[in-house]
Amino acid sequence: MCAVVIVFSGVLCTNVAVSVLRILFSVILLKLGPEDLPGSIPVLQKIILINAFSGMLVLSSQLDTALALANVALDLVLTLLFSYLVLAALNRRARFVQTTAAICGIGIFFHLFTWPLLLQQELSDAGGIARTLMALIMLSLISWELLVTAHIFRRAIESSMTSAIALSFALFMLSITVSQIIFPGTS
């Protein structure tokens, strides 16, 4: 979390950075929603930049730099496009900035949560119970991120949690599928 504060502090002014971090952390805990974030395009741009940086941090431990950058860019484009299409289809375009800021913002946290696990996996050829435990932790983090993304969609489009989970899962599957088509064997 300290690393995120430092990065946010350098990119956003300090008061805004701390406020955005608190809101995003509350979104991760399902206490607040995207409507609580500033509806500011510069804030969204900075969150996207930090998301790209944190995504590169994670993926560069698994892939070469150019491929990691391409994967991060693809994921961000798909997230922005999917969110826009969902919101536009439901006449909620005005919520795009806050919704995508929330989705990209929580992505920063989940990148940082998974990074040590991926590094640990790379450093050890642990078998048995250690490998199973790491797989369960990763599955838990993916499930948590899907739930938080659903929470964001639910608040943004004022729908049932069932519909929001379907949207969250659709975004997740779209991201994996398109990534596998464009970059086979990397996701």
Average pLDDT over residues 169-184: 94
- Domain spans of the chain, in order of start: 2-182
HSE (side-chain half, CA atoms, 13 Å) at 161: 5
Per-residue confidence at 185, pLDDT binned at 50, 70, 90? Answer: confident
* Residue 136: φ, ψ to 5°: -65, -40
* Residue 12: φ, ψ to 5°: -110, 160
Q: Return the residue matching tokens 């395009």.
A: 41
Q: Return the residue matching tokens 């900035």.
A: 97
Per-residue confidence at 130, pLDDT binned at 50, 70, 90? Answer: confident
pLDDT of 140 over the 80 cut: yes
pLDDT of 25 over the 50 cut: yes
| Distances, alpha carbon 102 to alpha carbons 85, 91, 93, 170, 179, in Å | 16, 19, 15, 17, 22
Per-residue confidence at 9, pLDDT binned at 50, 70, 90? Answer: very low
Instruction: Note the residue count of the chain.
Output: 187
Query: Between 63 and 87, whose confidence is greater?
Result: 87
pLDDT at 16: 79
User: For residues 68 and 51, what is the distance between their CA atoms, to the nearest angstrom?
Assistant: 13
Tokens of 66: 């150019």
pLDDT at 5: 47
Out of 3-7, 39-43, 82-86, which region has the weakest mean confidence (pLDDT)? 3-7
pLDDT of 162 over the 60 cut: yes
Average pLDDT over residues 151-160: 97
Tokens of 100: 């995508």
Per-residue confidence at 126, pLDDT binned at 50, 70, 90? Answer: low
Helix ranges restricted to H, the chain: 2-11, 14-28, 41-59, 65-89, 96-123, 128-157, 161-182
pLDDT at 10: 54
pLDDT of 12 over the 60 cut: no
HSE (side-chain half, CA atoms, 13 Å) at 116: 6
